[in-house]
Structure 1
């Protein structure tokens, strides 16, 4: 079975890359491209500041770049794989799932892939070449015969939206959950969204193994510094495709264009290497299964402190289909039913105007339709007497339409709030669609 999968991977990484930028391109990577790895600092006895060696730097010293040019289509080198395991973490949950599959090959394993357009498969020339399906194929070839794979990747989205949609998109019976969001930034906000998302997944009754995957944008942009803080907090495995390839590119051993056809989405060879990085961990755990701990402690959110305050605990999406969450006080001109992609039950207007809602929350965000037609305008979103937040539905010259999530309001206490949405540019661009409210 291993030989069969090896052939699949070999064919994948040797295949020529084709264009495949579904979902997002430059727009999707704009936030992540601004990210940079933070280097922790400490002071010595003299008062001078000394930079501490980061986890990435330590691994680079242990697993240096190739000595000269390398054909990326041949797959990952051993040192690339070594660098990619940025945080091995506690593998007991993964070991327990692997042990179950070994003991009962006919048992169904549920694997959920939660992410953005990379997880959705953008950049790959076909479904069989996507990193998600390569991982699923490995499991079927090497462990249990039956895998139920759930691809919950949505292009141009981030972990802020993901923490609000996880309840509907992540099957509660998941055995393994992969989380990948290149659209996050290396910031405290995205540390908080990832923190709450991870806590939600860890607390699922089936006690899934949760694994973070960190891609890269051209130039090395990545939110992995913020995500690593979360992985270290909960001792999670974290796989860095970024650390596997960027040092080699910086050294001139191969070029970004060998890994991607745009500035963010891996091509066939990139998807194959990303899968290799994950399967490197799987192989380690499987081969050392006898010595791996398989004792899993249930995660109790009330007993495990969140370093970010678990700001988005209980996050959910509110729409016209959930009147218990969102009360329409005055629909005004927002009487059209709004639907886009994976989201329905929203409110749309084609004539400008306004609408008023009542929503009980501590933190509130708006999910809206970002549109390239030129007919979508700006609205002011005002919560109670707070300053209005301007939200622009127009995406001039963009790569395509997409669902955009934006935080509107945050407080320390849950309370009922009046939320008014009002056009600010007359009828010159009269369209706007609220796809949902992000409530926590």
Structure 2
């Protein structure tokens, strides 16, 4: 009989901080059949996670998280745990570093096998040999063997000698039934506005008639940060709350058209295709671009054009302006809310609800912490999405409780609908240059547009794809595109151009951004004059990018030529479509 074995030397206790703490994860089936939950850590997200989940304020330590080289100096090991209902569930954790030259393929992958028992497993950085191409911390992946598995995940970084971290702070569970929570939600109501169209939808619902709620926006509306994304996102939760409160016969329909990384500059182009598809006529449309429109070339013209486009639809839907918020307490409501004020629209500000209580110096009066609200620096987690849904529901409740006509309507002797129509006849507060914009692609062709596709004779199938409505399955954005592929067809290199001739007042190009190394740039010419270069690597990740080619006061005939740069003719470039105003 063997005697007892000598114990191994215990691992010395190290300072650590969390970058994920009790975050919801969900195994979603990807297009290639893999089952993955992604958390992106690039573009400042890792630093923000250290600040919010780990309470890190040390600027030197935060700065080290910007690069792989700094990450290796700061971090000794990574502790990872996942808890699922099935404790034997097999999960692989991967922390992928991005490369300098090859963004997705050039960096080191730090990996560890996990089970769903909540036990922490460690990755020791000393076990890895870094690649020469390593650049920045890129993304975290939880890879499941079984689809549709929910879990709670925590990731903490153990630090090398010489670095310290603050003590871990315990958080109390958010009480969504408390008076404090209700008061916080009430602060979200920026403007109840002219509520006639919403009341009309509520009355229609109660009468048992079909009512449709539609939501259009960026990644928050898509459901980013929610797990699962289709049923835990604010849009779906808001629709469910509306149905529970007002529906007589389960007669409320749901449209979700959120696309990550896209501003109203693209939203106005895809509205007809993504929201009005298959003849849909939504009764209420929630517009959420308050954190996506910083890069809008028009500083609000596109946003107001979209708002007016919806308000002027023949069946007269209601519009709600929703202002979401980033973890740095920022959004664009000061720029965009004048649009809502001009047309007296209902407006809901998540910033006004949550940011004041984030700022409290102690727990007294705080309802929810940033770590509890946010999944990362850009997106809410499940609790945050619930807060957003409750903010919209609060608006519906106040409208339902209010009288059936505003004081303004009585004073003017007009119906509320007539008041709105008169406001729509006023000059726009920012602009309405694109109110009548239409989409042009291989499917939606304008009869008077003359196209020479040149070397753009392929169709790109590697597209940004999103979960529409209440679905987990992915729908590709702009599948009817024109793709130049110099990687396969050398004949294309002779005709490395695309030409469009048409008479119009304004024209926008929608092209595919990408982080892949085999993607090149294209020059855009109008009537023979160079205008700009479309570079898919500026944003450097796969999504749809809308840019204005021209926006004139009068409609004239123009020839637009998109030509691959000489040094990139062995690469790819994809025109996803155009937006045009006649």
- TM-score, normalisation: structure 1: 0.79
Match of 1:368 in 2: 511
Q: What corresponds to 1:263 in structure 2? A: 377
Aligned position for 2:174: 73
1:308-337, CA deviations, whole angstroms, 9 ceiling, x for partnerless residues? 341102101111234426745432211112
The Cα shift of 1:195 comes to 0.8
Report which stretch shifted further, 78-87 or 218-227: 78-87
Q: Structure 1 residue 82: deviation in Å? A: 2.9
Query: What is the aligned partner in structure 1 of residue 333 from structure 2?
Result: 224
Confirm or deny that 1:239 pairs with 2:374: no
Change (3 A) 1:270 1:309: closer
For 2:515 and 2:204, the matched residues in 1 are separated by 49
Post-superposition offset of 1:213: 0.7
Identify the match of residue 388 of structure 1 among 516, 531, 540. 531
Q: Is 1:155 aligned to residue 260 of structure 2?
A: yes
The size of the alignment, in residue pairs, is: 383
Q: Are 1:435 and 2:553 matched, yes or no?
A: no
Q: Which sections of structure 1, spanning at least 5 residues, go unmatched?
A: 1-14, 30-68
Checking the alignment, whether the CA contact within 8 Å between 1:357 and 1:419 is kept in structure 2 is yes
Within 5 Å, which residues of 2 pair with 1:294-373? 295-297=416-418, 299=421, 303-324=425-446, 327-339=449-461, 340=463, 341-351=476-486, 353-373=496-516
Higher relative contact order (CA 8 A, sep 6+): 1
Q: 1:162, CA displacement in angstroms?
A: 1.1
Quote the residue 2:237 is aligned against. Answer: 134
1:5 — aligned with what? none
Classify 1:86/1:187 alpha carbon distance in 2 versus 1 (closer, same or farther; 3 Å): farther
**Equivalent residue for 2:318?**
209
C-alpha displacement at 1:115, in angstroms?
A: 1.1
- Per-residue Cα deviation, 1:126-155 (whole angstroms, up to 9, x for no partner): 233211111111122111221110111112
CA contact (8 A) 1:332 1:355 kept: yes
- SS in structure 2 of the partner of residue 100 of structure 1: helix
- Distance (Å, rounded) in 2 between the aligned partners of 1:323 and 1:176: 29
1:120 Cα shift?
A: 1.3
Secondary structure class of the residue paired with 1:348: strand
Q: CA RMSD in A?
A: 2.9
- Choose which of 177, 180, 186 in structure 2 pairs with 1:82: 186
Q: Pick the structure with more helix per residue.
A: 1
> 8 Å contact 1:368–1:434 — kept in the other structure?
yes
Residues in 2 aligned to 1:135 and 1:310: alpha-carbon distance in whole angstroms: 29
Instruction: Tell me what 2:156 maps to.
Output: none
The match for 1:174 among 274, 279, 282 is: 282
State how far apart, in whole Å, the 1-side matches of 2:512 and 2:483 are: 10
Verify the 8 A CA contact 1:375 1:394 in the aligned structure 2. Answer: no
1:423 is aligned to 564
Q: Could you tell me whether the CA contact under 8 Å between 2:242 and 2:393 is conserved in 1?
A: no
The structure having more radius of gyration, on CA atoms, is 2
Measured after TM superposition, the shift of residue 259 of structure 1 is 1.2
Gapped runs of 5+ residues in structure 2? Answer: 1-20, 27-36, 46-169, 410-414, 464-475, 487-492
8 Å Cα contact 1:115-1:179 kept in structure 2: yes
Q: Does the CA contact (< 8 Å) of 1:114 and 1:151 recur in 2?
A: yes
- Comparing 207-216 with 378-387, greater Cα deviation is found at 378-387
Q: Distance in 1 between matches of 2:325 and 2:422?
A: 33
Match of 1:49 in 2: none
In 2: Cα distance, 1:356 partner to 1:28 partner: 39
| Bigger mean CA offset, 176-185 vs 307-316 | 307-316
**Are residues 291 and 119 of structure 1, via their aligned partners in 2, closer, same or farther at CA, if it must alter by over 3 Å?**
same
**TM-score for the superposition, normalised by structure 2:** 0.61
More displaced 10-residue stretch of structure 1: 257-266 or 296-305: 296-305
**Other structure's SS at 2:345 match:** coil
